[in-house]
Amino acid sequence: MNVYPLVMAPSFRHGPETPWGGHALKELFGKNSPDEITGESLEVSALPGHESRVVNGEYAGKTLRDLFPLWGKCLTGREENGFPLLLKLLDTRQPLSVQVHPDDSYALSHEGKPGKSEAWYILDAAPGAQLVYGIDTHGQSLRSVLDEGRLESSLCRTEVHAGDVFYIPAGTVHALGSGIRCYEIQQASDLTYRLWDWGRIGKDGKPRPLHIEQALSVSRSGVLPRQTGEPEELPGGRRTLLVSDPHFQLYAYDLDGRMTLPTGKMQFLTATAKGCALCWENHRETLLPWQTAVLPAALPDVSVEGFGRFLISTAV
């Protein structure tokens, strides 16, 4: 079976789907976004209706769902018939809603689908940009805080800068603020319970629906520390494990020439501003800045050439 690195073209969420989005995905990252209110570039996605497509090699034009019957476990490294992760870039012209995601146990029993944990790597942020990362109810129940109108004052806000990393396990109350561009790796689930939407009114004159009871059932109070990691020296550069979740791991690689990557797991490799090149067997594929390639689990030895940082998320 001829497996090879799959360079992906993203799908986009825009317009009414992401009323908080802007135009930085096009201006900063060169994405062919469809309009000036584009919030998400789904770089690696098998979500129905938002599937990214292969742009290189024998399977150019195919989606990841198209490749399941052909590659199966050779692609994902898993026995299950499904794509486990979703990778996207986000641009926030306005704040996202305050939200929370259920864990697998709650989601499977109440929604019939997996839950969602995720992580953010901040790529760019306006001066003073903030996000919501946890909630402090001061010992009271979250329902009491809501009933007394004290939700906004109980949210834990933190200023962000490029290079900051945040781990958002299921149950964490969170929201990206305005003026942030970030990389997000998550379980391949679209389950979101909206706790608060800042009183926004949509173009239809109505507020977006909230999911109070579900959010109360799955939310956890408390504040998590920012994620850091110790760099590991490797031939050709350094690797830092930034986030380790039961479903995925997120690494930053700092490349200085040529580095051989570990194999055996599906990996998403995202080039940052300088781009890079993938080399395997007798082949070479250039990744432009901010392109992502899916490295199948069954791919033989693969190396990366270039200089500067790139990001890798792996399926666990």
The span from the CA of 161 to the CA of 130, in Å, is 9
Cβ–Cβ under 8 Å, residues 151 and 195: yes
CA distance linking residue 212 with residue 173, whole number of Å = 12
Residue range(s) of every CATH 2.60.120.10 domain in the chain: 6-218, 232-315
Catalytic residues, which ones?
Answer: 194
pLDDT by residue, tens only, the chain of 316 residues = 689 999 999 999 999 899 999 999 999 999 999 999 999 999 999 999 999 999 999 999 999 999 988 998 999 998 877 899 999 999 999 999 999 999 999 999 999 999 999 999 999 999 999 999 999 998 899 999 999 999 999 999 999 999 999 999 999 999 999 999 999 999 999 999 999 999 888 778 888 899 999 999 999 987 777 788 899 999 999 999 999 999 999 999 999 999 999 989 999 999 999 999 999 999 999 999 999 999 999 998 999 999 999 999 999 8
To the question of pTM greater than 0.75 for the whole model, the response is: yes
For domain 6-218, which CATH number applies: 3.30.1490.100, 2.60.120.10, 3.40.640.10, 3.40.50.360?
2.60.120.10
Please tell me whether residue 177 adopts helix, strand or coil conformation: coil
- Any bridge partners for residue 147, and if so which? none
How many CB atoms neighbour CB 181 within 10 A? 22
Q: Of how many residues is the chain composed?
A: 316
Distance CA 314, CA 36 (A): 32
- Torsion 188-33-100-227 (CA) sign: positive
What the block records as the tokens of 150 is 């004290």
The conformational region for residue 85 under phi > 0 = left, psi -120 to 50 = alpha, else beta, is: beta
Residue 303 burial by Cβ neighbours in a 10 Å radius (0-12, 13-18, 19+): middle
Q: In terms of CATH architecture, what is 232-315?
A: Sandwich (2.60)
Distances (CA, A) of 43 to 16, 183, 277, 295: 20, 10, 18, 13
